[in-house]
Structure 1
Amino acid sequence: MTSSNPRALAHLLAGLALLLAPAAHAQAPLNLPQPSPAVRLREAFSTTFVELAYSRPSLKGRVAFGGLVPYDQVWRTGANTVTKIRFGEAVTLGGQAVPAGTYALLTIPGKTDWTLILNRDTAQWGAYEYKQSLDVLRLPAKATKLAAPQESLSLSLENLRPAAADLTLAWERVQVSLPLVGNPDPLVLAQIKTAMQGEKKPYLAAAQYYYNSNQPDLTPAVGWLDEAIKANPNYSYYYWKAKLLQKQGKPQEAGAAARKSLDLLAATKNEVAKDEYTRLNVQLLSEVKGKK
């Protein structure tokens, strides 16, 4: 097309303008508040972790259970895609064994009795394609009444201890909990066995684990502290040796170790450690005094 045909050129330019118009009027995306915000919660638990991924719907003046969420029907336990829970190690949930892995967490709400479901299909949207044949387990749970209403759904680990917690759902005035328990002993004892074959042996940490987890035979732990003391006589090593000997029912030996710890504390320049371990050793000595 040349300038010798101005009418044709005008039509061509008009056509191009129409083609380009949508791009010229394209709207910029906005970052808006989400009606059901996505949450990813990861808690250290036992020797690994528990992870929850879900979307949190809100009441907004509506009724949750028996309204937005019908009773006695499988629910995604949240909004949008199905809620997921991941266990970094094998656990028991509600008294039932669960292998390590990621599961869809679904529920069947009732007025007083709920069912919690772990399902293998973690890619499902909502519960529209839920298949009971893919269930790993179903667990009964009781619903309790919250003192105050909760606006948005919450999934969490409550009453968290080193290897135990309560997996808890709370929304509106409803709370549902199931006990979650880890079994760290086999994993930790295997780690200790391997570490004791290496160059940097975790004498103190291993001995403390034996004490805190109430291992039936504390003799190896006392031996590890003896090895640590040979390399570096230290007030903390002697204190923990005293604790182990006390638990073994050897009060005189425990007292001797505690007194040795106090002797070594006299030379330390760390006043905070000196005060703390002095108090701990004096307390232990008072507990074993007069015992045979």
Structure 2
Amino acid sequence: MSHGDEQGYSDYGGTGHTRTRLPDHDPYGGAPRRPTRSSSRGLITVVGVVVLLIAAIAFANRGDDSSPGNSPARSSRPQTTSTAPTGTHPVNTKTAGIPSGFAQTEQGAESAAANYAVALGSADMFNTVKRHAIVDTVYAPEIAAARQTAMDKAYSSQEFLANVGLAEDGSPPKGQLFVSRVVPVGTKIVSTKPGETTVEVWYTTLFGLSGNASKNPVTESWYTSTYVLKWVAHDWKISSDQQKDGPVPLGRDQRASTADDMTKAVEEYGGFTYAR
């Protein structure tokens, strides 16, 4: 996410969080009623669906059983090395509540980038003291002060806070829970050179106010952030970063959870320390 002049979320006062207003009524209107059909027609439909499903499963499982001429070369198939587990344990130390002390390896850089994305997209960024601690922890010393100034300006904007639905001190309205959470989906090494590694982190965000009276319900967005990490004082630190939208998956037609369910989930489910 771009934290050059702001946190990098451009849609909300320069912080990049997006908001989608959900309709007040149930967009699904309850379970749809099926039209009345004859029993014979229903049986034919069910049989047809089963036949198609069996055919799809057989096609999907064909894999390497196909003849070499019809199967793509193994070398041309997508690789999963960028997200495959390595068996190496994640770090067991923290600085300002953020995992730290990453190894000077590609895996260590990927883990650092993912964890830093989580910290920079957290609700703690809306608290001045906690924000300062995060910025000082994840950014290289030579740019931390500049980032601090830019982010203080962005996060103290009364117009921005009002649009988000927060008070001047960054607190949510009574009876509502402010949600700002980044969930990394995968990481990728872009380039490496002595003392520097560039990592991309693909992630989804949850952002909004959870509560029955919320006018800014929790919604999801998708981004990819690119972090240039430098090896400083025995750890990886961000020397520059930028953010772009997507890739965005096609959403399923799932019914949105109630405000109470969303609040309960956010309060009960904590985050992870990310490591490959």
Say whether the fold is shared (TM-score over 0.5). Answer: no
Q: Which TM-score band (shorter chain)?
A: under 0.3
Q: Could you say which structure has the larger radius of gyration?
A: 1
Query: With structure 1 as the length reference, what TM-score do the two structures score?
Result: 0.19
More strand per residue: 1 or 2?
A: 1
- Considering Cα pairs closer than 8 Å and 6+ residues apart, tell me whether 1 or 2 has the greater RCO: 2
Query: With structure 2 as the length reference, what TM-score do the two structures score?
Result: 0.20
